[in-house]
């Protein structure tokens, strides 16, 4: 208890009162499911929690997650799938881990997309000349060298496109201008807009950046072309430009854009990296922590997913340094090529399908490493009750929230959907999608204290799940 700030504790206690009813009702059911003995066992990990938190927040590891992340990000910058810089950054992480005297490290090769952005320019020619800030979307084809000049049709959603007459879309540039609700719901307008617009005869598609906030910042991201459609160039525009064009068109004026884009696309070999801190009793049973090492070509990939990579790197390192060896193995995975569609995770799932029964629990941090709030958990009720009980140990940092989520994380969804329980880091990430997939994803988004809290939380949760007497049930 000595490591926690009492004032903060009091404030957090009052803040949490409003949620008390919801938590209580659930915990009554969980108490019956778990039984007193298991509940006592889980609460006995308070000592280990204190040891880890003291070491990370006040001891030798204080500030280390931030420092190591900054060194990494400053050295390599963006790490797009298929590039040499990504491979060099993987080698660097292996060396960094070996330097901690952790030597159970393997890499697994797989084929990954290698899409390279060239020149990109979108100019409004009518009703006035204006350059738009744009970013081509992953796998977008090039325009012809002379570009594509066409009138704009703007639609809010797919239904509006489908209800349009073919002759109103044919030969036009379609702008998708969806209302941002959540990333999960809205990002479909990025991933499918080119295919949908092309099917109606459009010559190019642009999409309002998938973000709730903008300072004229376009957000890139992946998209893929459906089969049997002409592959048309596709890019993200800013919220500001989407609103501008919408206003002009609503006034009955015609908007004409010229799009010039170039890119190249082939495949390369990359690697997933697997770091094991072997369990003392049941080394075949795995508790996995993970983040992805690749990033988009814009920005520095500090937030997406440098933070997740480094809190997951930190977990076995902190346990090793503290000589804490749990019953089961703590495995840290640095996924490759997440951004082009979870390519590394699919390859891992396929390669290890026959041993999937060994995965006791799988975790991922890929939605920011701001202050931890708890976990978003996939699993049956008993599994969720165990995790909820473990989260009670983090009341003093206000990280007790269990969000029920049938598909948490990004990469690990490939594995949890086969019925394996897992969780992603639930954190105070309200600003995450401001920076996501933009030039603004830099170290300035990261906070030293929050990264320490993230590493301490992530490590403690992984340790407890890897060490308790019961497996997480499926």
- In the complex with Zn ion, the residue whose CB is nearer, 396 or 424, is 424
- CB 306, min distance to Zn ion, A: 10
Identify which range of 156-164, 262-270, 310-318, 359-367 contacts Zn ion by CB under 5 A.
359-367
* 55-84 footprint of Zn ion as x/- string (CB under 5 A): ------------------------------
Residue 364, interface with Zn ion (CB under 5 A)? no
User: Can you tell me the distance from the alpha carbon of 407 to that of 377, in angstroms, rounded to the nearest whole number?
Assistant: 8
- CB 296, min distance to Zn ion, A: 9
**Within 10 Å of residue 173's Cβ, how many Cβ atoms?**
26
Return the structure tokens found at 126.
Answer: 């009518």
Size of the site for Zn ion (CB under 5 A): 3
Q: Which of residues 36-55 bind Zn ion (CB under 5 A)?
A: none
- In the complex with Zn ion, the residue whose CB is nearer, 45 or 434, is 434
Residue 305, interface with Zn ion (CB under 5 A)? yes
- In the complex with Zn ion, the residue whose CB is nearer, 340 or 394, is 340
Q: Which helix (H) or strand (E) holds 6?
A: helix 6-17
User: Can you tell me the distance from the alpha carbon of 245 to that of 247, in angstroms, rounded to the nearest whole number?
Assistant: 5
Catalytic residue chosen out of the listed positions 260, 338, 389, 446: 338
Return the structure tokens found at 356.
Answer: 């999937």
Identify which range of 11-19, 303-311, 346-354, 378-386 contacts Zn ion by CB under 5 A.
303-311
Spatial contact of 473 and 38, defined as CB atoms under 8 Å apart: no
Residue from 366, 405, 446, 467 touching Zn ion (CB under 5 A): that is 366
- In the complex with Zn ion, the residue whose CB is nearer, 302 or 324, is 302
- CB 432, min distance to Zn ion, A: 10
- In the complex with Zn ion, the residue whose CB is nearer, 68 or 305, is 305
Identify which range of 17-25, 62-70, 154-162, 363-371 contacts Zn ion by CB under 5 A.
363-371
- CB 300, min distance to Zn ion, A: 13
The 8-class DSSP code of residue 307 comes to I
Q: Which of residues 100-139 bind Zn ion (CB under 5 A)?
A: none
- In the complex with Zn ion, the residue whose CB is nearer, 188 or 249, is 188
Q: How far is CA 212 from CA 329, 421, 447, in A?
A: 40, 31, 21
Known catalytic residue: 111? no
- In the complex with Zn ion, the residue whose CB is nearer, 233 or 344, is 344
Spatial contact of 249 and 152, defined as CB atoms under 8 Å apart: yes
Helix (H, G, I), strand (E, B) or coil at 25: helix
- CB 134, min distance to Zn ion, A: 21
Cis peptide before 127 (omega within 30 of 0): yes
Residue in the structure block whose two tokens are 């309002």: 208
DSSP string across 66-89: HHHHHHHHHHH----TT-HHHHHH
User: Can you tell me the distance from the alpha carbon of 392 to that of 401, in angstroms, rounded to the nearest whole number?
Assistant: 9
Residue 294, interface with Zn ion (CB under 5 A)? no
Strand partners, 427: 372
Residue 304, interface with Zn ion (CB under 5 A)? yes
User: Can you tell me the distance from the alpha carbon of 99 to that of 22, in angstroms, rounded to the nearest whole number?
Assistant: 46
- CB 261, min distance to Zn ion, A: 24
Identify which range of 7-15, 104-112, 300-308, 463-471 contacts Zn ion by CB under 5 A.
300-308
Q: For residue 109, with 0-12 CB atoms within 10 Å meaning exposed, 13-18 middle and 19 or more buried, which class applies?
A: exposed
Catalytic residues: 338
User: Which residues contribute to the site for Zn ion (CB under 5 A)?
Assistant: 304-305, 366
């Amino acid at each position: 208890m000595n490591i926690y700030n009492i004032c903060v504790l009091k404030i957090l206690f009052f803040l949490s009162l409003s949620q008390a009813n919801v938590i209580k009702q659930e915990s009554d059911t969980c108490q019956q499911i778990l039984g007193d003995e298991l509940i006592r066992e889980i609460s006995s990990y308070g000592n280990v929690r204190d040891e880890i938190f003291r070491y990370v927040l006040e001891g030798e590891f204080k500030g280390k997650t931030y420092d190591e992340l900054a060194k990494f990000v400053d050295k390599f910058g963006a790490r797009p799938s298929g590039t040499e810089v990504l491979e060099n950054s993987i080698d660097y992480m292996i060396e960094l881990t070996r330097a901690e005297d952790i030597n159970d490290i393997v890499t697994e090769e797989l084929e990954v997309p290698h899409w390279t952005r060239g020149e990109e320019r979108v100019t409004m020619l009518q009703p006035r000349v204006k350059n738009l800030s744009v970013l081509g979307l992953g796998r977008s084809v090039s325009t012809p060298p002379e570009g594509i000049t066409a009138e704009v049709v703007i639609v809010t959603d797919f239904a509006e496109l489908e209800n349009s007459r073919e002759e109103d879309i044919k030969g036009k540039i379609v702008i998708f201008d969806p209302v941002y609700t959540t990333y999960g719901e809205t990002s479909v307008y990025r991933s499918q807009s080119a295919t949908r617009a092309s099917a109606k005869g459009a010559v190019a598609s642009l999409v309002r950046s998938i973000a709730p906030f903008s300072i004229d910042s376009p957000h890139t991201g992946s998209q893929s072309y459906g089969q049997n459609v002409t592959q048309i160039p596709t890019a993200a525009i800013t919220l500001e430009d989407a609103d501008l064009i919408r206003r002009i068109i609503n006034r009955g004026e015609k908007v004409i854009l010229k799009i010039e884009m170039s890119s190249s696309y082939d495949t390369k070999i990359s690697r997933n990296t697997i770091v094991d801190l072997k369990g003392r009793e049941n080394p075949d049973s795995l508790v996995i922590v993970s983040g992805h090492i690749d990033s988009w070509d814009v920005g520095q990939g500090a937030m997406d997913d440098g933070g997740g990579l480094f809190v997951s790197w930190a977990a076995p390192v902190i346990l090793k340094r503290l000589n804490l060896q749990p019953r089961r193995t703590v495995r840290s995975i640095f996924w490759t090529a997440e951004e082009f569609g979870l390519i590394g995770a699919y390859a891992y799932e396929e390669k290890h399908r026959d041993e999937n029964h060994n995965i006791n629990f799988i975790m991922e941090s890929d939605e920011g490493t701001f202050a931890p709030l708890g976990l978003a958990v996939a699993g049956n009720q008993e599994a969720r009750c165990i995790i909820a009980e473990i989260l009670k140990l983090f009341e003093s940092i206000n990280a007790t929230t269990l969000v029920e989520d049938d598909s948490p994380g990004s990469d690990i969804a490939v594995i949890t959907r086969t019925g394996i329980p897992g969780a992603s880091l639930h954190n105070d990430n309200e600003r995450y999608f401001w920076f996501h997939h933009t030039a603004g994803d830099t170290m300035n988004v990261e906070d030293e204290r929050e990264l320490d809290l993230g590493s301490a939380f992530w490590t403690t949760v992984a340790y407890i799940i890897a060490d308790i007497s019961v497996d997480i049930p499926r």
